[in-house]
Amino acid sequence: MSDQAPPYWVLISVLFSSQPLSPALAMTLHQAAYELHQRGDGVKEVAGDMLSGRVVNLRKDVALGGISGPAFEAEIDTERGSGVVRFVLTRQGLELMKQQPAEPPRPKYLN
């Protein structure tokens, strides 16, 4: 597999969004949801230059036609206002993420 991450439209399928999603926002939501899925956690706070909010693991799988996977909901605040996003991590995307090399651990500084 190449060194580039898979495109966001392979990794995440948006079921509903009250805010327009940029590729960067979609990838931020995907990363938070993927971490929740891997760890089995329920909630993760997200923040960035133009985003704050939280992603909730709904702890259920959903299927819509040929797309299926674990379901998540995000409550976000962006420069365009507050919104809700409901989305699925696709099975294809989860498989692709498993094939990605793990990031090396970040050094921990005592300062």
Q: In 10 A of CB 101, how many CB atoms?
A: 7
Q: Convert the pLDDT of each residue in 56-81 to its tens digit.
A: 999 999 998 888 999 999 999 998 89
| pTM for this entry | 0.80
Q: In 10 A of CB 11, how many CB atoms?
A: 25
pLDDT at position 50, please? 83
Determine the Cα–Cα distance for residues 49 and 57; give it in Å rounded to an integer.
Answer: 23
The encoded tokens of residue 64 equal 């819509």
- Cβ 25 vs Cβ 78: under 8 Å: yes
- Cβ 74 vs Cβ 85: under 8 Å: yes
